[in-house]
Amino acid sequence: MGEVDLSQVRPYGDSLDDGLVQLSFTLPVPFGGKAKEAARQLSLGMGLLEPNVVHAADLGEGFSFFVVYARTPCSVDFDTLKADRAAETVMGKTEIELHYLAKFRRKPVILGACIGTDAHTVGIDAIMNMKGYNGHKGLEAYHGLAAVNLGAQVSSEEVVVRARELNADAILVSQVVTQKNIHLANLTRLAELLEAENMREKTVLVVGGPRISHRLAKELGYDAGFGPGTYAEDVATFVVQELERRNFIQWGEEKWKQ
């Protein structure tokens, strides 16, 4: 392999800098030769070069699925990029407990829920529940944290009510269902309710899910966003650092009355 020019990074397929990519998509057209040509033409319209439909399948009811190999002329300047992540360095569970939680006068209360009609609890459970996921303990296992998991299909209104009742310092919401951008509507609703109740400035607001990025979360008015591959320590690192930045150590028990 030759030396990589980081100012012009392209996808790698068979050889360095060849720009080969693979993409898949579904078209609402009946399966057949005409459908394959539609997939090829669509790929050309995307600016891809030499598209080749290497797989096609009939999904039934007038829908067809395609896998296309092609080349892209695009490149990125890797040296100028910044990572889209909440925390640059992630701490381990022990480090968080020893170096941050020991400083706080009371346990930070972290509230978690799947909001709206979302019934998928795998993500929020992996972050909140004591057993965690893949050998990574959840927030319930962290000494010095009070983690409360409300579960699935919790309305934004209920989240706000419980946050006030529990004097929550951070709210973690999970959004897995993304059809027709329902996750955007749900997340916007929660942020607006917190603003209306004058609770937003004193609440660390975090969202996670398969279609979530830190950049998207910030655009929606959240403090951080986490996508696939996130563990409890990723979220905990951000939350405790953000609480310290906001002088959580000085926060009293009756913060909503201030």
- Per-residue pLDDT at 256: 39
Residue 197, both tokens = 């109740």
For 221-245, the pLDDT digits (tens) are 999 999 999 999 999 999 999 998 8
Give percent of the chain with pLDDT exceeding 90.
Answer: 72
List the CATH code of the domain at 93-250.
Answer: 3.40.50.280
Please, are residues 242 and 223 in contact by the beta-carbon 8 Å criterion? yes
List the CATH code of the domain at 1-81.
Answer: 3.30.30.60
> Do the two domains 1-81 and 93-250 of this chain adopt the same fold?
no
β-strand 170-174 against 63-71: which pairing, if any?
A: unpaired
Closest to 182 in 3D by CA, of 232, 118, 122, 231: 118
Mean residue pLDDT of the chain comes to 91
Please, are residues 249 and 104 in contact by the beta-carbon 8 Å criterion? yes
Closest to 121 in 3D by CA, of 150, 158, 152, 154: 152
Q: Which residues sit opposite 27 in a β-bridge?
A: 64
For 102-161, the pLDDT digits (tens) are 888 889 999 999 999 888 899 999 999 999 999 999 999 999 899 999 999 999 999 999
Residue 21, both tokens = 């990519």
- Per-residue pLDDT at 5: 87
Domain limits, the chain: 1-81, 93-250
- Per-residue pLDDT at 250: 55
For 31-44, the pLDDT digits (tens) are 999 999 999 999 99
CA distance to 82, 96, 144, 215, 225, per residue, from 91 (Å): 20, 6, 15, 21, 17
Task: 3-7: list long-range contacts, CB under 8 Å, 24+ apart.
Answer: 6/77, 6/78, 6/79, 7/77, 7/78, 7/79
Q: Indicate if 103 belongs to the active site.
A: no
Give percent of the chain with pLDDT exceeding 70.
Answer: 94
For 174-190, the pLDDT digits (tens) are 998 788 888 899 999 99
Q: What is the pTM of this model?
A: 0.75
The C-alpha atoms of residue 126 and residue 30 are separated, in whole angstroms, by 40
The C-alpha atoms of residue 20 and residue 71 are separated, in whole angstroms, by 4
Closest to 217 in 3D by CA, of 173, 182, 159: 173
- Per-residue pLDDT at 211: 87
- pLDDT above 80: residue 21: yes
Q: Which candidate in 36, 82, 131, 137 is catalytic?
A: 131
Residue partners of 103: CB distance under 8 A and separation at least 6: 244, 249
